[in-house]
Amino acid sequence: MTVFGYPVSDLFLYFIFYSFLGWVMETCYCSICEHRLVPRGFLYGPICPIYGTGVLLMILFFTPLKRNLVLFYVVAVAVMSSWEYFVAWLLETTTHVKYWDYSNFRFNLKGRICLWVALVWGVLSYIVIFYIHPPIDARFDRIPLVLKYALCIILLAVLLTDAVFTIRHLALVSKLVVGVTALGEELQVQLSLGKAELTDKLEPKAEAVRQRYYAEIAKLEQNSRRFRSRYSKISINHHYQVSHDDILAAAQLAREEFLRKKQERHAKRRA
């Protein structure tokens, strides 16, 4: 079975190999910047699938453009930036966590991509297609077909096992993030209501919510330690953050509802 003339077994081995190279590159770069060992990637194994998939896109779609360098570069910048944006969006949507953020750089799009990184993607695509992949491809051709199939089966089994454990962990972290955010919102509302001269009725409930909030925070810290060690700028998706205005509005509505019910009780007693 082939895809654009490439055997599926070769494409899978390319994916694993370049995912590993991407992991090495990111780990070295981040370790140098942070002056400590920072094993990047959200999988347990030493691979970054975003790089492996990115190189496959280069091999399949950029190779035919080698004779037109301008078109090659423009397409590489557009496609690779789109791929990075999609991965960032997918991770934020499914895990409610932002794994990288370019908001501090000029010409960024929602912090998921930015201009200088997009331009670097074009340069990396040129280096990969013209200098790195040709000798790698030549060496992969020398591997016996039986050995290729064996490697594919073993590596696929390892990758699937790693993915299952990682997805399970990410689901747990995602659930904790949503729970912590909801508890934080409830706690803020209760505290805001408490300031509206309703402390006697609401303080016990606010204290119970506060204890649940701290317990969930402790769980989140414990379960996200591995990800935070790899992504020092990790943050909760803004969709699950509560603004100050939202808290005040919710508190005001709750206060009005409480006073309305109080007035209804007084009216019934007078009647």
pLDDT in tens, 251-261: 555 566 656 66
Both 117 and 181 in a single domain?
no
The pLDDT value given to residue 240:
44
Q: Can you read off the two tokens belonging to residue 104?
A: 């501090």
Across 63-67, 114-118, 158-162, 204-208, least confident range: 204-208
Q: HSE on the CB side for 88, CA within 13 Å?
A: 20
The pLDDT value given to residue 146:
93
Question: Using the 8-state DSSP alphabet, how is residue 48 labeled?
Answer: -
The pLDDT value given to residue 263:
72
Both 179 and 146 in a single domain?
no
Both 144 and 186 in a single domain?
no
Tally of domains in the chain: 2
Prediction pTM value = 0.65
Range of the domain at 88: 2-162
The answer to whether the beta carbons of residues 185 and 250 sit under 8 Å apart is yes
Question: What is the spatial distance between Cα 30 and Cα 52, in angstroms, rounded to a whole number?
Answer: 19
Last residue of a domain, one of 109, 138, 162: 162
